[in-house]
Structure 1
Amino acid sequence: MANPSKSAQGLSPGLLLLLAVAAGFMVSNLYYGQPLLEVIGSDMGIPLAGIGWIVASAQAGYLLGLVLLVPLGDVVDRRRLITLQIGATAVGACTVTFASSPAVLLVGFVLLGGASSVVQTIVAFTAASSSPDQRGRNIGTVTAGVVSGIILARTVAGGMTDVWGWRSVYVLAGSVAVILAVAVFRALPPERTDRGGVSYRQAVLSVVVLTRGNPVFRTRALITMFLFASFGVLWSGMSLLLGGPGWDLPPGIIGLFGLAGLVGILAAAKAGAAADRGWGQRVTGVSLAALLGSWIALWLGEWSLLWFVVGIVVLDAAVQAVHVSSQTLIVSGAEESASSIIGSYMVFYSVGSAAGAATVAPVYDAWGWAGASVLGVAFAIGALAIWGAGQLRSANFGPTASAVRSAHHAGAE
């Protein structure tokens, strides 16, 4: 880190707020399209079975960013990297705005998703710059910003589409990116680039090293993959259910359903504090059981919007609690390599999110919302099974976080 005393003192409230706001706006780029799938598909001539690729292409770009851009945070000044990534989202947003064909549209979403991986560079900066006793809480605060961005993205996108059309959403995204790039560059302190002697190649290969060599990371990464696949089934499939013949709701109303996920903000903050106390595994087990149960309420959403809202509340809270617990556990004790560790972990997030988005549309097309609900349940069972298997391998709460550090450094030698 650039300023050793900064890590000891922790982040100031103002800087932490800016990081949370920036992370929230950047993650929004991945979710603006979810309530708009039918509208965008109709406008661009994309068939029903293929509209899931609108969201999946952004997630694919995000995956590339996680592998190729986020690890740079361990070898370059994160202030400059964060600024450049945020600025690059404006380029992706402009490409989407002016797309005249499905091919150009999908390329724009790939670019937008790739640059939006800056969210994880921000999380890594937060983890590395936080004092040990505040790390989980600070990660929880930034994650609360991410949850807010996800929720508001759907609500804002739906409302703006009803008034000005779906392209206006990406005009907003590009404009905000320019403002945030300037604000972040002015506010963040510069960093040294000799933080751990890890090369860019070694940082990029961290996902392989950590997955093969560390059971804590591997378990948490696989849980995340299934967790966000289940998450993606809901949020990419929601517009198909609510905008279809059964409910026939406009995008603006569909976007408002995202507000039900606001409880995820509280869950993220509480989970971070619980992880600081050593309760991360307990939070994970309870939350994954809740995730599984949430799909019962979501399945009933075909007949009752009240049950659908209940399902959203439970699912979002469960997902964010597990997500924050996992990030806190894998970074603790390996702060100097936070960018490559978080980036590697989020590769599995991106794969899971893309899988959920890409599979729900054809499943819904073939078997309706009942089939989509079964798909969400299957992914939730996968996450719970992996957590259970990890618990069986350890009499306590799993290996210590130092194992993550050891595995990472072993790959750097």
Structure 2
Amino acid sequence: MDPLTMGLIFLAILVLVLATGVWVGVALLIVGTLAMSLFTSRPIGPAMATTVWSHISLWGLASLPLFIWMGEILFRTRLSRSLFDGLSPLLRNWPGGLLHVNVAGCTAFSAISGSSAATLLTVGKITMPELKKRGYPDAMVAGTLAGAGTLGLLIPPSITMIIYGIMVQESIARLFMAGLIPGLMLAGLFLLYNVGWGVLTPAGRAMRENPSDWREKLHALPKLLPVVGLIVAVVGSIYTGIAAPTEAAVLGVAGALLLSALQGSLNMQSLRESLMGTVRTTAMITLLLAGSAFITLAMGFTGLPRDLAEWVVDMELSRTALILSLMMLYMLLGCFLDGISMIVLTIAVVEPLVRAAGIDMIWFGIFIVLVGEMALITPPIGFNLFLVQNMTGRSLGFVSRAAAPLFFIMFASVIILIAVPEIALWLPETLTARD
């Protein structure tokens, strides 16, 4: 059986299993069990136990629940409200007004959360009522929030990057470094989109906030200092080599607990809720990793990754053609899966192809995370679209249309990243060379 046919058969089985409503991690275990039973006589139980345990007990994963917990603490305390109050006077004078707070707030919260859902929900709960009260169009509010909420995947520390780094055995610290400039570039393009709306459309020109003076801006700065200080401490400790990602995550949790305690918003209820939220999210991701580890082992027994790699090599695709083909694949998968699930489902097959083509795996990590961001607002079932729909009460079609311009901005960012790979590679190469 040729590798393409075999791959399509396993993909069809996986789609059928997922269509029954089974969790993605369980679906991967089911397909892996089927592949093991067909292509090897090795006992499935011991193979599954050994493989799953060896992958979910890696030291690098220790930072995962810690970064999730840090975001949960901030999500459930008043620190996130202080972030909005501090950004508003600094940004409302710009064309586009307080829409910029959606983007800037998501950018800042992404740097301390690592979760797209936590970023969107936290910022959205604060900004949406205020923006609606001030008369901003629902489409602009929903679209900018859906798009900017995806930055939690790209701006470090990123849960998705941790998972990718563990799966392909690349440095998580270097991935964090590589994601910073692309993340800020994307945030800048979102801000530019808001400015364009404020300058070029009648509704945008009519929407002008009362200008803030320098006294109000100076008064707002202390409200930003706790969050900005935590960002600098966590991300800066990684970039300077003072701390590994796991150590930086411990620092982030300690800082979040201290700041929320000093603010008076930390109590037993918020602490308990943050811990339960961390357990739920970590358990979901661990199940995904377990299923991925086992299906990777099973696919190895089938020879599918090796055969596919040889098949692609025989096609003599250029690097650019391979990358564009993978981009189309992930955009298609993004219609049905979130970014983490896409990586977990495909990396066992894609990694050999990428390495055989000589593509830098750090750069490819940023590429795949950026395309995963697009998946979050890809109609018809982008995850962020559902979150914004629930928050606004508008139809999914309305939210999809509102987020469409942000989707095309992301698409342009992917093209820029392909054309200028140094955007992702310059910072890690520079800092590593310095060390």
Please report the TM-score for the alignment, with normalisation by the length of structure 2. 0.30
Higher alpha-carbon Rg: 2
Please report the TM-score for the alignment, with normalisation by the length of structure 1. 0.31
